[in-house]
């Protein structure tokens, strides 16, 4: 039986929510990942030092028996230097959301006025705090990411020493942008390596495949696969695993988000194996992220086996991607 071992897998974009949902989903990521960048878009958002510390404590309480490091983030605001100096030891990055563009982002940035943002972003660059960006405009849904490229250029040009992470990229335009500026990096999800818009709405609507940014065209999928499979040194895995209660997904107001945390490594093995690139998976799921973020995660050795695994119908009331379907790899052991 074919097996493959990954060391210190990292999820560089993860939603854990809070309260009962946190208690249900956090152990699923902590089981197979050494750590994760935790998104701050709670209600209210994580935007103070006290909120960062308290949220990390709640996460650790939910995963008491696992070696797992939650790399905390702040919800972007125009913070002053004194505040950033005070909080820098408690965070790994700051996450910027355009206002109203995705779940719980109403308090995000409504105007990309560089001079207003300059004090915060220059201090972040000075302190080595990366800026993670949900890169979409409020335009036509299929064009939102491509339209945001001009804002990435504006940020990259004005703050050349600031590490800017283009989160969950979905387009060839973002792939092409990656090498244009030295300080641009990117995360890629597993579902965007598998889906096009046709998979989501080409037949019957598939609510558990609906996310933002929405899956795009075949040529976009091909571009993402190309850089992920080669483990491009500026890309890393970020699941954007986004749990919602089943009733919130299977409704007329279908919540955006795909829940992949419990099966992410299995799916990635399947994809990389299909293309004969398993040897590159270690860089994509850990080594690149360690280098880009300058982090040293908890040691964890995850061995996966090439055999049929039927994805559970739900995990604690959350329906995962490919629920009830068979996939080609399974987790054999975690040490």
| Share above pLDDT 90 across residues of the chain, in percent, rounded to a whole number | 97
| Share above pLDDT 70 across residues of the chain, in percent, rounded to a whole number | 100
Tens digit of each residue's pLDDT (9 = 90 or more) over 151-179? 999 999 999 999 999 999 999 999 999 99
Q: Domain residues of the chain, as ranges? A: 3-334
Tens digit of each residue's pLDDT (9 = 90 or more) over 200-222? 999 999 999 999 999 999 999 99
Q: How confident is the model at residue 20 (pLDDT cuts 50, 70, 90)?
A: very high
DSSP state of 98: B
pLDDT for 1 beyond 80: no
Please name which of 14, 23, 127, 30 lies closest in space to residue 69, comparing C-alpha atoms: 30
List active site positions. 240
Tens digit of each residue's pLDDT (9 = 90 or more) over 273-299? 999 999 999 999 999 999 999 999 989
Q: Kind and range of the H or E element at 199?
A: helix 197-201
The pLDDT value given to residue 126: 98
Look up the pTM and report it.
0.97
pLDDT for 64 beyond 90: no
Q: Phi and psi dihedrals of 93, rounded to 5? A: -160, 170
pLDDT for 66 beyond 90: no
- Cβ atoms of 228 and 12 within 8 Å: the answer is no
Tens digit of each residue's pLDDT (9 = 90 or more) over 131-142? 999 999 999 999
Class level of CATH domain 3-334: alpha beta
| Length reported for the chain | 335
In the structure encoding, which two tokens stand for residue 73, read together? 């983030």
């Amino acid at each position: 039986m074919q097996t493959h071992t990954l060391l210190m897998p990292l999820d560089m974009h993860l939603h854990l929510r809070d309260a009962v949902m946190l208690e249900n989903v956090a152990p699923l990521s902590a089981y197979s990942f050494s750590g994760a960048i935790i998104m701050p878009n709670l209600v209210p958002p994580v935007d103070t030092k006290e909120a960062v510390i308290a949220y990390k404590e709640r996460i650790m309480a939910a995963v008491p028996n696992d070696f797992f490091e939650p790399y905390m983030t702040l919800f972007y605001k125009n913070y002053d230097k004194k505040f950033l100096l005070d909080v820098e030891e408690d965070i790994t990055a700051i996450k910027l959301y355009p206002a109203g563009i995705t779940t719980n982002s109403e308090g995000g940035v409504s105007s990309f006025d560089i001079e207003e943002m300059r004090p915060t972003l220059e201090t972040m660059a000075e302190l080595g705090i990366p800026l993670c960006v949900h890169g979409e405009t409020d335009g036509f849904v299929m064009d939102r990411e491509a339209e945001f490229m001009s804002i990435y250029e504006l940020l990259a040009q004005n703050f050349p020493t600031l590490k800017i992470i283009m989160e969950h990229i979905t387009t060839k335009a973002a792939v092409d942008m990656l090498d244009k500026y030295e300080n641009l990096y990117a995360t890629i999800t597993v579902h965007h390596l598998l889906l096009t818009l046709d998979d989501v709405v080409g037949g019957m609507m598939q609510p558990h495949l609906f996310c933002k940014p929405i899956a795009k065209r075949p040529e976009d999928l091909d571009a993402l696969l190309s850089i992920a499979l080669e483990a491009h040194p500026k890309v890393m895995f970020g699941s954007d695993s986004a749990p919602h209660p089943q009733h919130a997904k299977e409704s007329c107001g279908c919540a955006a988000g795909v829940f992949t945390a419990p099966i992410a490594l299995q799916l990635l093995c399947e994809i990389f194996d299909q293309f004969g690139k398993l040897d590159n998976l270690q860089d994509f799921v850990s080594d690149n992220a360690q280098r880009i973020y300058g982090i040293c995660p908890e040691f964890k050795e995850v061995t996966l086996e090439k055999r049929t695994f039927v994805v559970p119908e739900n995990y604690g009331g959350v329906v995962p991607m490919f629920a009830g379907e068979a996939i080609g790899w399974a987790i054999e052991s975690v040490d």
